[in-house]
Structure 1
Amino acid sequence: MSDTAETGMTPERERGLAMMGEVYGFDMSDGPGDYFAETADHLFGRIWSRPGLSHRDRRLLLLGALTAQGNGELTPEELEEIVVFLCYYAGWPNGTKLGNVVGPHVARARKAARRAEAEG
């Protein structure tokens, strides 16, 4: 009997759940709904499982994308440090562009922190 018949999952779902476990660092079980299906089957079963980039590379790219969106994953100090660090590897012009993107997020975060402290 195949794994698919035993678990009731497609090989893609099994691969996706296994990859989710590797990425998140804990065992993943199957979940309900289309959103979970697309996440497990497509994002992790296909995209994260492709050759060409390591898990580390994909995590760094994701971190860069999240940072650019200003989602609060990093402190203002960490964001500024990333800009300085990347200037040496991506070049000062590219680092400056990143700094121009990150700068407003840092300023908003610091302003919100000051406001919260004052209301505190």
Structure 2
Amino acid sequence: MSNDERRNTGKEKIMDVYAGDVVVPEQGYAFSDIMLETLFAEIWTRDIISMRDKRILLLGMIAAQGEATTFKIQTKAAIKRGDLNAEEIRELHLFIAQYCGYPKAAAMLFPMEEAIAEATKDLEKAKESGAE
């Protein structure tokens, strides 16, 4: 696959992974080019592990690092894509607290609930407009 094909595959996959809620980086910046051509075109497209499993693993790793903003982004995408529902996200958060610690989990709580509310609103809008 050529770099252009890998980039296009990566662009499609990043839009899928983030349920259309990200801006695809412009071509020409090495970090974003490599991210699209490798992480999204080659890693996220592998189907040995389900998208749901990847998302759960990713949420755990992000929580362990204390990255509340990224946790919110991933939570919203997980709900919008149907990988996880709000109840499952909250249960995962409870589990994360036991292994990552309460301070890190507490920092995720508000962003997580914001993401759940935003994703629910987006899904309701999409349903109303008939674009599920």
Q: Distance in 1 between matches of 2:105 and 2:93?
A: 12
Q: Deviations over 1:29-78 (max 9, x none)?
A: 6433100111100000111011212222211111010111112236xxxx
**C-alpha RMSD of the superposition:** 3.2
Say whether the 8 Å CA contact 1:16–1:40 is kept in structure 2. Answer: yes
Give unpaired runs (5+ residues) of structure 1. 87-94, 110-120
* Mapping for residues 33-112 of structure 1, pairs under 5 Å: 33-72=29-68, 73=71, 82=92, 84=94, 86=95, 99-106=98-105, 109=107
- SS of the equivalent of 2:45 reads coil
- What one-letter code is carried by the residue in structure 1 that aligns with 2:101? V
State which structure, 1 or 2, has the greater radius of gyration over its C-alpha atoms.
1
- SS of the equivalent of 1:10 reads helix
Say whether the 8 Å CA contact 1:18–1:28 is kept in structure 2. Answer: no
- SS of the equivalent of 2:48 reads coil
- What one-letter code is carried by the residue in structure 2 that aligns with 1:37? D
Give unpaired runs (5+ residues) of structure 2. 73-88, 108-132
Q: Distance in 2 between matches of 1:106 and 1:22?
A: 27
* Mapping for residues 6-25 of structure 1, pairs under 5 Å: 10-25=4-19
Q: TM-score, normalized by length of structure 1?
A: 0.56
Count of matched residue pairs: 87
Identity %: 28
